[in-house]
């Protein structure tokens, strides 16, 4: 339970969206009714954590990549999400490999967020 964040608590966290950039930006959405991302979320496509041989990047390289997204935020103030929670869990593991422990998961992810017409949707790179 301590690794889970709910939709109503997300504004208190740094959000990382694990989906591919076109889905994050709202250029395309093959699954959900609405395209875009949760406002203030940063994009870190889960595949960017992988080396050419499909294993994780070395921890120091992975940490450097992730720290450009975190901008000094503590991992315990970070929530990962994606379309449905699966690749967000991959990003959580990548952060653990990089030594960035304590990140949380928003399991409802974009599918839950975008299903509520009252929630704000962001598009583009910001």
Q: Out of 35, 38, 82, 103, which one is annotated catalytic? A: 82
Q: Tell me 88's DSSP state.
A: H
Give me the count of residues in the chain.
126
Residue whose token pair is 């076109």: 22
pLDDT digits (tens, 9 = 90+) for 93-118: 999 999 999 999 999 999 999 999 99
Q: What is the CA radius of gyration of the chain?
A: 14
pLDDT at 126 over 90: no
Q: Is 82 a catalytic residue?
A: yes
Using DSSP's 3-state secondary structure scheme, residue 99 falls into coil
Euclidean distance between CA atoms 123 and 20, whole angstroms: 13
pLDDT digits (tens, 9 = 90+) for 14-44: 999 999 999 999 999 999 999 999 999 999 9
pTM assigned to the model:
0.95
């Amino acid at each position: 339970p301590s690794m889970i964040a709910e939709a109503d608590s997300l504004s208190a966290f740094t959000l990382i969206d694990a989906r591919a950039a076109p889905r994050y930006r709202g250029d395309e959405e093959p699954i959900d009714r609405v395209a875009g991302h949760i406002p203030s979320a940063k994009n870190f496509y889960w595949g960017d954590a992988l080396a050419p041989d499909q294993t994780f990047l070395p921890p120091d390289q992975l940490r450097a990549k992730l720290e450009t997204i975190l901008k000094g935020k503590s991992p315990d103030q970070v929530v990962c999400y994606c379309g449905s929670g699966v690749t967000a869990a991959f990003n959580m593991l990548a952060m653990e490999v990089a030594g960035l422990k304590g990140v949380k998961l928003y399991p409802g992810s974009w599918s839950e967020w975008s299903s509520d017409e009252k929630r704000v949707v962001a598009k583009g790179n910001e």
